[in-house]
Amino acid sequence: MCGIVGIYLKNKKYNKQLGKLLTGMMNNMASRGPDSAGFAVYNKSSKFKYTICLKENYDLKDLKKDLKNKLSNTKYKLIADHVVIESSSKPEKVLPNIKKIKEIDLVGYGKSIEIFKQVGNPKDVVKKFSLDKFSGSHAIGHTRMATESAITTDGSHPYSTGEDECLVHNGSLSNHNNLRRTLIKNGIEFKSQNDTEVAAGYISNSLKNKTSLKDTLTNGLKDLDGFYTFITGTQKGFAVLRDEIACKPAVIAETKDYVAIASEFQAMAHLPDVNKADIYEPKPGVVYSWGS
């Protein structure tokens, strides 16, 4: 069980404060998700960005050595134990090279997205990655209370579901084990026993087959069993879906400057002008999206 948050800025004047706003939301959701945390910030770049996580005993120096001469126009940004690699090389060329290096994990990639996640109390995790210094157009975040799988970074959200796309989830699926086995047969790889990772695999499998995100989520209502509020981040914004029983909470606050979503209103209580915002709850079984 968990806390999920998201914020989409309609007004560019808040772009530089995106990280600060999200930090406030994440800190507030730490009590319902004390085990681990993660966030995806969207900041459009002209080049592709690849966020990777360095495993133990492997550092930026090693990474630069292993990728030497393999990618063009490359910049490296080190943030704690994550590195954002910016390169004009296309994903078809970069991803296989990244996959070859066993000492790193690819957390996410795209022209806009940067994903960071880690085990630990959310308040510590956001500090570690200096989230308050990030800027961008939109972001989603997650604080985790592990239910049936281990507390590891692999078990943390957001999960990357494709280029510039990711997923966070509050709830508990009930048919993920069978679904995982089916997806493995379709070539999707899994690193954990986490149910959300299965939902992410389901979404990326569907998007790979050229189904739209909206149709994918709508099909998900049938194919994914259990309780969920999903937020999927996309290059242009984010989408929200609650299952038809809708027991897991979700509140949306919308002003002329932003749209924010969170598991509890408390996470949004500090957002600018939130007392004048239009506050409502997404209806069950309906896909809501902003920015696309």
Partner 1 sequence: MSRNLVWFIRGDLKMNFDLSKKTLSEVNSFLQKIDLKSNQRDFVIKNPLGNHALCAGLQDEINVTIKGHVGYYCAGMNKNAHITVEGNVGTGVAENMMSGIVHVKGNASQSAGATGHGGTLIIDGDASSRCGISMKGIDIIVKGSVGHMSAFMAQSGNLVILGDADEYLGDSIYEAKIYCLGKVKSLGADCIEKEMNEKEINNLSSILKAQNIKADPKKFKRYGSARSLYNFKIDNVSNY
Partner 2 sequence: MSEMKKNLKGFSTFPHDTIAEIQRSAREGIYQIRGLGAKRKVPNFDDLVFLGASASRYPLEGYREKCNTSVVIGDRFAKKPITLDIPITIAGMSFGALGANAKDALGRGASAMGTSTTTGDGGMTPEERKSSKYLVYQLLPSRYGMNPDDLRKADAIEVVVGQGAKPGGGGMLLGQKINERVAQMRNLPEGIDQRSACRHPDWTGPDDLEIKIQELREITNWEKPIYVKVGAARAYYDTALAVKAGADVVVLDGMQGGTAATQDVFIEHVGIPTLGALREAVDSLKELNMHRKVQLIVSGGIRSGADVAKAIAMGADAVSIGSAAMIALNCNADMYPEDYEKLGTAAGYCHHCHTGRCPVGVATQDPELEKRLEPELAGKRVKNYLATLTLELQTLARANGKSDVRNLEPEDLAALTVEAAAMARVPLAGTNWIPGHER
State yes or no: is 53 an active-site residue: no
272 binds partner 1 (CB under 8 A): no
Judge contact between 224 and 169, C-beta under 8 A.
no
249 binds partner 1 (CB under 8 A): yes
In the bound state with partner 2, the residue whose beta carbon lies nearer, of 23 and 170, is 170
158 preceded by cis ω (within 30°)?
Answer: yes
Contacts of residue 185, defined as CB under 8 A and 6 or more positions apart, other chains included, come to: none
Interface pick for partner 1 out of 71, 267, 287, 290 (rule CB under 8 A)? 267
Burial of 111 (0-12, 13-18, 19+ CB in 10 A): middle
175 binds partner 1 (CB under 8 A): no
User: What is the gyration radius of the CA atoms in the chain, in angstroms?
Assistant: 18
273 binds partner 1 (CB under 8 A): no
Tell me the closest approach of the beta carbon of residue 141 to partner 1, in angstroms: 17
174 binds partner 1 (CB under 8 A): no
Interface pick for partner 1 out of 79, 95, 269, 286 (rule CB under 8 A)? 269
291 binds partner 2 (CB under 8 A): no
In the bound state with partner 2, the residue whose beta carbon lies nearer, of 145 and 188, is 145
Measured over the CA atoms of residue 248, residue 266, residue 167 and residue 242, the dihedral's sign is positive
- DSSP element (H, E) containing 288: strand 288-290
172 binds partner 2 (CB under 8 A): yes
Q: Mask 228-267, x = binds partner 2 (CB under 8 A)? A: -------------------xxx-------------xx---
Site for partner 1 in 208-247 (CB under 8 A): 246-247
Burial of 69 (0-12, 13-18, 19+ CB in 10 A): exposed
Site for partner 1 in 95-134 (CB under 8 A): none
Tell me the closest approach of the beta carbon of residue 108 to partner 2, in angstroms: 25
Site for partner 2 in 119-158 (CB under 8 A): 145-148
> Strands, E, within 120-182: which ranges?
138-144, 159-162, 165-173
Judge contact between 213 and 234, C-beta under 8 A.
yes
Applying CB under 8 A, the span of 64-72, 82-90, 132-140, 276-284 interacting with partner 1 comes to: 276-284
Q: 228 is written with which tokens? A: 């969920």
Tell me the closest approach of the beta carbon of residue 126 to partner 1, in angstroms: 19
Length of the chain: 292
User: Could you tell me the strand order of the sheet in which 165-173 lies?
Assistant: 159-162, 165-173, 226-233, 238-242, 288-290
Tell me the closest approach of the beta carbon of residue 214 to partner 2, in angstroms: 26
Q: CA 48 from chain center: how many Å?
A: 17
80 binds partner 1 (CB under 8 A): no
Tell me the closest approach of the beta carbon of residue 260 to partner 1, in angstroms: 12
Among 147, 136, 181, residue whose Cα is nearest residue 291: 136
Residues that bind partner 2 (CB under 8 A): 1-3, 31-35, 145-148, 170-172, 227, 247-249, 263-264
Question: Which residues have a catalytic role annotated?
Answer: 2
